[in-house]
């Protein structure tokens, strides 16, 4: 009977100490990590609109998994931060769409697919092929990298639909 | 229903846990000397992964999420998995020594096995619901057992073959695993 | 912070209790030579000897399935001789000693 | 003296990857570029030394029945705390090691050494063993990723870990059209690892053969001395 007690107390104490240390580290670091993330986000927003002073974040309606965040630059243009699947880790990108549905700007933040193929979604050729078009019209994917580029195009269509539905 | 089936096939054949994710190599290298021991190992892994996934899924969505301490997922999962495996080993050792002789004796290998933890974490990361979680937790170990069994049958004949002294044992087994990886990567276009 | 510690204490206690109870009621009289040899083996459970884990090899050594300790590649030579000596000297429950080469 | 021997054992004779077959999961998965190899091994060395020390510190009071759950909880907590601290306080280091630290929990070397060595020796020896094994792991990972990167992309390059865009050195050895891209995929990993493991085995067989010859020579010598 003493043995069982000894084992229970010992495992409980070790788990509590490990958990406590982890919780302490977490409480210490979460505010700093969030601050870093916001700074990084602001930086990538600045790439799209260097002259804009502030980006008002808009509450997200609907339950789409691809749209992560929405920022408002001025009363007609919104920036969507999107995360889509791909071949391996998929793509995180930002796209600016105005209330008329024109695709003003596109910027890919990261792509976790096969380097050289999937990462083409981050290159300027793909960016040029998108900007200036209507966000809801069929957009061309990259030949040879459809597994990575098709979800990005579908993501843009979803953002366009979101604009028509909620932001018009 | 269909995407459950495609998920099952992808987990078993396409991104198979050993040949394309490289997880579970330690037991894979050690235990696959005889086909019967491979089946024993496979059944033990299926049992442990399914039970561990259900328990960790429950802990995450009933305890960690409501309390808002989801950063504790790794610690609690790993604690549960290690104790669960040790518990199963004891139960099998006591309840049926015969089964333990053939099956349970591989359980210590599973405690250090990376597959179990990876499945538990993947269930949460992919945001599976209960049924998807069950399919995924059955598919991955079935893929593990399939590859382990094929590998063991090849390896039994391999011992009879004349291999250079330096390649005897594990190195030649790795070459066989490489060739199997080629065969399995051929299935990539299936889905 | 406090909730985590409470959750961990409960989880640790429950698992510790489970293992403790299992250990007490599920005690299997194992030939203590097997436990002794398992403790002397390096415990990598690497499976290099073909047995699943060091306890498998220890059992094989004790009941004579295997004649030499050299099957365990990663263990150091002096460990092998120590195991062989131990097994050749200590009698088992039936009084016989086994003949094992390092 | 045997401390020094213990320490260097991890390099070749008891190399964690090639002779003990520990941590193969991460070696095969990560060894695609030199940057990955360095990042992963530094992360493993830090965690391995720290976890060996903590585990050997509590080795006398850990009851044997729950030895594995206790060790695993310590390792997991250690890994997660290091990951949090790095993401918060060293964002530059986070870009270098961020992706590798969570992989370590799934790495068998840490628990393998904890159970095989740290639970039986004092703190200083365990730290030394952790360092030795870590360096052995780094040695194996570097060799693997150099070969695989060379064959898969024909280029050997090493970027500054803190700012990946800045290339420290870059040598193109194989022209681009003769590149075997198989080596960046799982298949290449298996073959490279097999050949290297065979190389280590051959080296060890050679050592054993030499040792046996020496023994035979000595025995012959002794016999000759007895007759004379």
- Position A68 scores a pLDDT of 81
Cβ atoms of A89 and A74 closer than 8 Å: no
Confidence of residue A65 (pLDDT cuts 50, 70, 90): confident
The neighbours of chain C, by the rule of 3 or more Cβ pairs under 8 Å, are A, B, D
Cα(A66)–Cα(A155) distance, integer angstroms: 7
The pLDDT of A118-135, averaged and rounded, is 80
Is residue A62 predicted with pLDDT exceeding 90?
no
- The continuous run of DSSP H or E covering D171 comes out as strand D167-172
Mean pLDDT of D71-97: 83
pLDDT > 60? residue B104: no
Q: Is D45 a residue whose pLDDT tops 80? A: yes
pLDDT value at B40 more than 90: no
Return d(Cα A90, Cα D78) in angstroms, integer: 29
Cα B136 to Cα B116: distance, rounded to the nearest angstrom: 12
Q: Which residue has the tokens 């899924």?
A: B57
- Banded model confidence at residue A15, pLDDT cuts 50, 70, 90: very high
Residues A17-37 have pLDDT tens digits of 999 999 999 988 888 888 888
More confident call, C33 vs D42: D42
Token look-up 């958990």 returns A19
More confident residue, B94 or D57: D57
Interchain proximity A4–C8, CB inside 8 Å: no
Confidence of residue A116 (pLDDT cuts 50, 70, 90): low
Asked if B29's CB is within 8 angstroms of D24's CB, the reply is yes
Quote the tokens at residue D161: 């870990």
Mean pLDDT over D78-100 rounds to 80
The interface residues of chain B toward chain A in range 57-86, judged by CB-CB distance below 8 A, are 69, 71-72, 75, 79, 83
Correct CATH for C32-89 of 3.40.1440.10, 1.10.3720.10, 1.10.8.60, 1.10.15.40 = 1.10.15.40
Lookup result for tokens 């200036």 = A132
| Contact by Cβ (8 Å): B70, B60 | yes
pLDDT at position B53, please?
Answer: 92
Q: Which has more pLDDT, A47 or C43?
A: A47
Spatial separation of the C-alpha atoms in residues D128 and D72, rounded to whole Å:
20
Whole-number pLDDT of residue A87: 64
Measure the CA–CA gap between B103 and B89, rounded to whole angstroms. 9
Residues of chain C with Cβ-Cβ distance to D22 below 8 Å are 44, 46
Q: D148, D182 in Cβ contact below 8 A?
A: no
Please give the residue of chain A at the shortest CA–CA distance from B73.
A19
Measured CA to CA, the distance from residue D194 to residue D187 in angstroms comes to 11
Q: Which of A154-163, D112-121, D190-199 has the highest mean pLDDT?
A: D190-199
Region A150-154: what's the mean pLDDT?
Answer: 84
Please tell me the distance from the alpha carbon of residue D53 to that of residue D47, in angstroms, as a whole number: 10
- Report residue B58's pLDDT band, with 50, 70 and 90 as the boundaries: very high
More confident residue, B127 or D193: D193
Once rounded to an integer, what is the mean pLDDT over residues D148-159? 82
Q: Look at A39-43, D55-59, D77-81, D104-108 and tell me which has the smallest mean pLDDT.
A: D104-108
pLDDT at site B137: 92
The pLDDT score that the predictor gives to residue C70 is 75
Q: In whole angstroms, what is the distance from residue D94 CA to residue D98 CA?
A: 4
Confidence of residue D50 (pLDDT cuts 50, 70, 90): very high
The fraction of chain B above a pLDDT of 70, given in percent, is: 87
Residues paired with A78 in a beta bridge: A72, A97
Report how far apart, in Å, the C-alpha atoms of D20 and of each of B42, B181, C74, D6 are. Answer: 23, 23, 6, 15
Q: Determine the Cα–Cα distance for residues D188 and D199; give it in Å rounded to an integer.
A: 17
Q: Two tokens at D72?
A: 């695993």
By CB atoms closer than 10 A (0-12, 13-18, 19+), residue C42 is buried
| CA distance to partner chain C, nearest, from residue D101 (Å) | 22
pLDDT band at B134 (very low <50, low <70, confident <90, very high): very high
Give the start-to-end residue ranges of the domains of chain C: 1-28, 32-89
DSSP D117: I
At B103 the pLDDT is 58
The chains found to touch A (3+ Cβ pairs under 8 angstroms) are B, C, D
pLDDT at position B117, please? Answer: 85
Lowest mean pLDDT among A127-141, B85-99, D36-50: B85-99
Q: How far apart are CA A79 and CA A135, in angstroms?
A: 13
Please state the domain extents for chain A.
1-48, 56-167
| Residues of A in Cβ contact (< 8 Å) with C16 | 7-12
Residues 6+ apart with CB under 8 A from D104: D26, D43, D44, D47, D79, D110
Percentage of residues of chain A with pLDDT beyond 90 = 9
Percent of chain D with pLDDT over 90: 4
Closest-CA residue of chain D to A4: D65
Residue B114 clears pLDDT 70, i.e. is over it: yes
Share above pLDDT 70 across residues of chain D, in percent, rounded to a whole number: 95
pLDDT at A9 over 80: yes
Mean of the per-residue pLDDT values for chain B? 81
Distance CA A166, CA A61 (A): 8
pLDDT of A6 higher than 80: yes
Unique residue bearing structure tokens 């007895």: D226
Neighbours of D100 (CB within 10 A): 21
Tell me chain C's radius of gyration from C-alpha atoms: 18
Per the model's pLDDT, the better-predicted residue between B53 and C71 turns out to be: B53
D178 to A144, D173, D175: CA distances (angstroms): 21, 10, 6
> Residue D169 forms beta bridges with which residues?
D158
**Which of A133-137, B26-30, C22-26, D41-45 shows the lowest mean pLDDT across its residues?**
B26-30
Residue among D70, D44, D196, D74 nearest D134 (CA): D44
A23–B75 C-beta distance less than 8 A: no
- Two tokens at C51? 């047995």
Confidence at D183, pLDDT banded by 50, 70, 90: confident
Q: Which among D61, D63, D85 has the least Cβ separation from residue A25?
A: D85
Calculated CA dihedral for residues A55, A58, A64, A67, nearest 10 degrees: 0
How high does pLDDT run on average in chain A? 81
- Examine the pLDDT at D121 and tell me if it is beyond 80: yes
Interchain pair C19, D66: CB under 8 A? yes
Residue A55 confidence (pLDDT) above 80? no
**Mean pLDDT across C87-95:** 71
Rounded CA separation D94/D193 (Å)? 29
A29–D89 CB contact, under 8 Å: yes
- The residue that leads in pLDDT, D111 or C26, is D111
The number of C-alpha atoms within 13 Å of C95 and in the hemisphere containing its C-beta is 0
Query: Which helix or strand (DSSP H or E) is residue D57 part of?
Result: helix D34-57
pLDDT value, residue D111: 81
The secondary structure of chain A, three-state, reads CHHHHHHHHHHHHHHHHHHHHHHHHHHHHHHHHHHHHHHHHHHHHHHHCCCCCCCEEECCCCCCCCEEEEEECCCCEEEEEEEECCCCCCEEEEEEEECCCEEEEEEEEEECCCCCCHHHHHCHHHHHHHCCCECCCCCCCCCCCHHHHHHHHHHHHHHHHHHHHHHC
Q: What is the pLDDT of residue C52?
A: 63
pLDDT of residue B8: 87
Mean pLDDT is highest, among B146-160, C43-57, D101-115, for: B146-160
pLDDT > 70: percent of chain C? 79
Could B75 and A18 be called an inter-chain contact, meaning their C-beta atoms sit closer than 8 Å?
yes
Which positions in chain D touch A11 (Cβ < 8 Å)? 66, 69-70
Tens of pLDDT, residues B135-146? 999 999 899 889
The whole-number pLDDT of residue A17 equals 93
Residues of B in contact with A26 (CB under 8 A): 71
Residues C2-37: tens digit of each pLDDT? 888 999 999 999 998 888 888 877 776 666 777 777
Higher per-residue pLDDT: A121 or D42 = D42
Range name among A119-123, C28-32, D131-135 with the lowest pLDDT average: C28-32
Is the Cβ of B55 closer than 8 Å to some Cβ of chain D? no
Whether D66 and A6 lie within 8 Å, measured CB to CB: no
pLDDT at D38: 85
Of C4, C16, C24, the CB nearest to A20: C4
Distances (CA, A) of C80 to B140, C57, C58, D122: 38, 13, 12, 22
What local confidence, expressed as pLDDT, does residue A152 receive?
A: 84
Residues D145-171: what's their mean pLDDT? 79
């Amino acid at each position: 009977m003493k043995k069982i007690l000894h084992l229970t107390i010992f495992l409980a104490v070790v788990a509590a100490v490990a958990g406590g240390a982890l919780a302490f580290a977490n409480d210490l670091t979460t505010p700093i990590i969030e601050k870093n993330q916001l700074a990084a986000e602001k930086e990538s927003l600045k790439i799209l609109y260097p002259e804009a002073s502030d980006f008002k974040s808009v509450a997200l309606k609907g339950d789409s998994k691809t749209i992560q965040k929405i920022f408002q630059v001025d009363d007609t243009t919104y920036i969507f931060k999107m995360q889509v699947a791909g071949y391996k880790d998929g793509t995180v990108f930002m796209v600016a769409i105005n209330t008329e549905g024109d695709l003003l700007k596109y910027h890919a933040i990261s792509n976790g697919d096969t380097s050289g193929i999937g990462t083409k979604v981050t290159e300027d050729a793909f960016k040029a092929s998108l900007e200036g078009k209507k966000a809801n019209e069929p957009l061309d994917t990259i030949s040879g990298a459809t597994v990575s580029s098709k979800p990005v195009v579908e993501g843009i269509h979803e953002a366009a639909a979101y604009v028509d539905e909620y932001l018009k | 229903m269909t995407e459950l089936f495609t998920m099952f096939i992808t987990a078993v054949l396409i991104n198979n846990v050993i040949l394309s994710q490289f997880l579970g190599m330690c037991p894979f290298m050690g235990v696959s000397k005889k086909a019967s021991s491979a089946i024993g190992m496979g059944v033990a892994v299926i049992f442990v992964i399914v039970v561990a996934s259900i328990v960790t899924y429950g802990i995450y969505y009933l305890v960690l999420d409501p309390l808002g301490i989801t950063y504790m997922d790794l610690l609690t999962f790993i604690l549960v998995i290690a104790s669960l495996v040790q518990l199963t080993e004891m139960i099998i050792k006591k309840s049926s020594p015969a089964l333990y002789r053939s099956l349970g004796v591989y359980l210590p290998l599973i405690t250090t096995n990376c597959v179990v933890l990876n499945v538990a974490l993947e269930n949460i990361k992919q945001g599976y619901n209960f049924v998807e979680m069950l399919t995924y937790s059955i598919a991955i170990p079935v893929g593990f057992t399939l590859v382990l069994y094929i590998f063991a049958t090849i390896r039994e004949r391999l011992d009879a073959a004349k291999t250079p002294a330096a390649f005897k044992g594990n190195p030649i087994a790795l070459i066989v695993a490489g060739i199997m990886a080629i065969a399995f990567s051929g299935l990539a276009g299936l889905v | 912070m406090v909730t985590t510690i409470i959750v961990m204490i409960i989880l640790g206690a429950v698992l510790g209790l489970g293992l403790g109870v299992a250990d007490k009621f599920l005690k299997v009289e194992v030939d203590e030579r097997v436990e002794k040899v398992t403790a002397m083996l390096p415990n990598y459970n690497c499976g290099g000897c073909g047995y699943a884990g060091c306890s498998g090899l220890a059992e094989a050594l004790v009941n004579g399935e295997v004649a030499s300790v050299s099957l365990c590649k990663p263990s150091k030579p002096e460990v092998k001789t120590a195991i062989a000596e131990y097994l050749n000297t200590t009698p088992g429950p039936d009084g016989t000693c086994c003949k094992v080469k390092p | 003296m045997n401390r020094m021997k213990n320490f260097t054992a991890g390099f070749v004779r008891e190399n964690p990857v090639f002779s003990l077959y520990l941590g193969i999961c991460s070696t095969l998965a990560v060894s695609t570029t030199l940057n990955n190899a360095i990042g992963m091994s530094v992360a493993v060395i830090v965690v391995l030394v720290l976890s060996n020390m903590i585990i050997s510190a509590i080795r006398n009071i850990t009851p044997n029945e729950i030895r594995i759950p206790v060790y695993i909880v310590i390792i997991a907590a250690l890994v997660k705390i290091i990951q949090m601290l790095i993401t918060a306080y060293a964002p530059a280091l986070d870009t270098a090691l961020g992706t590798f630290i969570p992989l370590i929990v799934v790495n068998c070397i840490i628990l393998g050494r904890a159970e095989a060595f740290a639970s039986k020796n004092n703190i200083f020896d365990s730290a030394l063993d952790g360092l030795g094994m870590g360096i052995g792991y780094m040695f194996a990972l570097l060799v693997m990723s150099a070969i695989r990167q060379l064959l898969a992309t024909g280029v050997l390059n090493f970027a500054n870990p803190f700012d990946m865009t800045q290339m420290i050195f870059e040598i193109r050895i194989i022209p681009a059209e003769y590149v075997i891209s198989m080596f960046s995929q799982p298949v290449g990993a298996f073959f490279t690892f097999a050949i290297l493991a065979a190389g280590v085995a051959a080296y060890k067989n050679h050592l054993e053969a030499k040792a046996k010859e020496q023994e035979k020579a000595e025995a012959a010598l002794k016999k000759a001395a007895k007759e004379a």
